[in-house]
A and B are shown apart, each in its own frame.
Chain A
Amino acid sequence: MSALTHLALREERRRRGALASAGVVVHRNYLTYRRMWWLFLSGFLEPVLYLFSIGVGVGQLVTGFEVDGREISYAAFVAPGMLAFAAMNGTLLDATMNFFFKLKFAKTFDQMLATPLSTRDIALGELAWSLARGGIYSTAFLLLMVVLGLVQSWWAVLVVPAALLIGVAFGAVGMALTTWMRTFQDFEWVTVATLPMFLFSATFYPVTTYPRWLQLFAEITPLYRGVVLVRELCLGTVGPAALVSVVYLLLLGVAGLLVVRRRLDRLLLR
């Protein structure tokens, strides 16, 4: 890159600002999905189907749980877990497989770097896109919960920001790990990490079901932090301890983003 183009690029970047640059990436993803809106919409169905099957179908078999001294229906217990899971799963889909495809096969990022966009803009833009998607899904899911009478507190207005926070953590870490993937087979490892979280992180029953040492194991997973955060908000049992979850997820997100930026520099700029 000649000194002159470098200067011109810096000037262009200064003029746009970081947010606008990431916005270009988001807009690009919007354009590619516009013709596949049904694909976009169908992604929302997954947690809804789980809610009806596990929450309602299995719920008729389960006696109901006591959470923070209050007896709640099984559906009311499972629904926040499904929402948190959907936030994780939705973001990870974009942040792992789709991100990998753009990085390795479609060479989308190489093309973007031929424009005034930087690796920082790409990382932020890709994350923002998956968050927008996760945000739309979780908003719709929350509305469904309200209609079904599964939300018991006004704290629930904070559920969407909480879902976005889960998205930031999983999206950033997922993208960071994806930069080390070599083939699509490597994504089996993503399943190895996410499936146990889905099944054991207080999504289907309280962690008090486990012996103490296993509880600690479940409690340090990021999905557990997300699930309890969303559940506390839906039931209105939020306390200062919720800040632990918020800070934990935020830290994961920032750390992940820093790694993504560095890795993209290494992979694409030399």
Chain B
Amino acid sequence: MATTDSHVRVRRAPLAGRLTDYWFTVYRRTWKGSIVSSFVTPLLYVLSLGVLLGGYVRADPATLEGAPTYVAFVAPGMLAAASMQMVFGELSYNVFGRIRWQKTYHAMTASPLGVTDIVQSQVAYVLARVTLAAAVFVIVLAPFGVFASPGGAVLALLAQPLIALAFATPVFAFSAWVTSDSAFALLFRLAMLPLFLFSGAFFPIANLGPVLETVARLSPLWHGVDLTRMLTLGTVEVGPVLVHLVYLLVLGGVGYLLAVRALTRKLVR
């Protein structure tokens, strides 16, 4: 690595860009399978839980954090949760397998590319995919009348890559750090699923009771869900929005440092 850098003088920024091209080539060959996960799945959840189960929910804005209907409450929750789940799906086996099974990263580092380029480009690719899927989701949700204003819908969409970033780098770090693929079953069951179910996506976290509510407030997905919900319902308050933005950005930043460190240990010995 060090020798490559001293011999070939290249500007750092375009390198990660070249790798992003690689990721989209991969996507062009596998996109069909993602239709179900990024389009059909959220639609079915909105229909089943939002619309049909929502018919049995007393629609009271006071108990639903300001939402006029249950579907308006649950829709932003599922948008944010879908962004998170996509990150877990994209950066678990895909990272581990490229280190352990396919050795793709090893091949990449044999070129002028460095570890930071690999992490940056793959995270950028995942953020782009999440944004694309979220755009589809927002269009699917529009006819259900869950957006207070078109501007709110656009801002909620723009919040998704930030939520994705907060999960992408920590998950990348985890996948680069573990030594066995069975760790992912635990990651999904002990991290992703509890986050999905208890971060205010399906019910207000006040329903958890005072102690668990405080715990839920620490959950990064709750910050994402609350941010998205304020934007879709048009109930934006500046203070909480800033807290959410800072929390998600810091998590993404810390995760990035950890990811680079973990991948360096695996690739450069």
A153 to B207, alpha carbons, bound, how many Å?
A: 29
B53 touches A204 (CB 8 A): yes
A57 touches B48 (CB 8 A): no
A50 touches B190 (CB 8 A): no
Stretch from A10-18, A20-28, A36-44, A137-145 contacting the other chain = A36-44
Q: Contacts of A53 on B, CB cut-off 8 Å? A: 197-198, 202-203
Query: Is residue B186 contacting chain A, with contact meaning CB distance below 8 A?
Result: yes
A57 touches B202 (CB 8 A): yes
Query: Is residue B250 contacting chain A, with contact meaning CB distance below 8 A?
Result: no
Grouping DSSP codes into helix (H, G, I), strand (E, B) and loop, the A interface class, with mixed when no group exceeds half, is helix
A188 touches B33 (CB 8 A): yes
> Smallest CB–CB gap between A229 and chain B, Å?
21
> Smallest CB–CB gap between A195 and chain B, Å?
6
A199 touches B44 (CB 8 A): yes
Q: Contacts of A195 on B, CB cut-off 8 Å? A: 40-41, 44
- With contacts A49-B194, A53-B197, A192-B40 taken as known, whether A58 is within 8 angstroms of B203 at the C-beta atoms is yes
> Smallest CB–CB gap between A89 and chain B, Å?
12
Query: Is residue A185 contacting chain B, with contact meaning CB distance below 8 A?
Result: yes
Number of interface residues of B (CB under 8 A): 33
B186 touches A42 (CB 8 A): yes
B36 touches A57 (CB 8 A): no
Interface residues of A in 42-69 (CB under 8 A from B): 42-43, 45-46, 49-50, 52-54, 56-58, 60-63, 65
Query: Is residue B104 contacting chain A, with contact meaning CB distance below 8 A?
Result: no
A52 to B193, alpha carbons, bound, how many Å?
A: 12
Most chain B CB atoms below 10 A, which of A45, A58, A200, A209: A58
B185 touches A42 (CB 8 A): yes
- With contacts A61-B63, A192-B40 taken as known, whether A205 is within 8 angstroms of B182 at the C-beta atoms is no
Query: Is residue B70 contacting chain A, with contact meaning CB distance below 8 A?
Result: yes
B202 touches A54 (CB 8 A): yes
Grouping DSSP codes into helix (H, G, I), strand (E, B) and loop, the B interface class, with mixed when no group exceeds half, is helix
Q: Contacts of B64 on A, CB cut-off 8 Å? A: 61
> Smallest CB–CB gap between A194 and chain B, Å?
11
> Smallest CB–CB gap between A85 and chain B, Å?
13
Q: Contacts of A185 on B, CB cut-off 8 Å? A: 30, 33
A61 to B61, alpha carbons, bound, how many Å?
A: 12
Q: Contacts of A205 on B, CB cut-off 8 Å? A: 52-53, 55-56
A209 to B49, alpha carbons, bound, how many Å?
A: 12
A220 to B27, alpha carbons, bound, how many Å?
A: 37
What are 19 contact pairs spanning A and B, CB under 8 A? Answer: A39-B186, A42-B186, A42-B189, A42-B190, A43-B189, A45-B190, A49-B197, A52-B197, A52-B198, A54-B202, A57-B198, A57-B202, A58-B57, A61-B64, A185-B30, A192-B36, A195-B44, A200-B44, A205-B56
Chain B positions within 8 Å of A, measured between CB atoms, are: 30, 33, 36-37, 40-41, 44-45, 47-49, 52-53, 55-58, 63-64, 70, 182, 185-186, 189-190, 193-194, 197-198, 202-203, 207-208
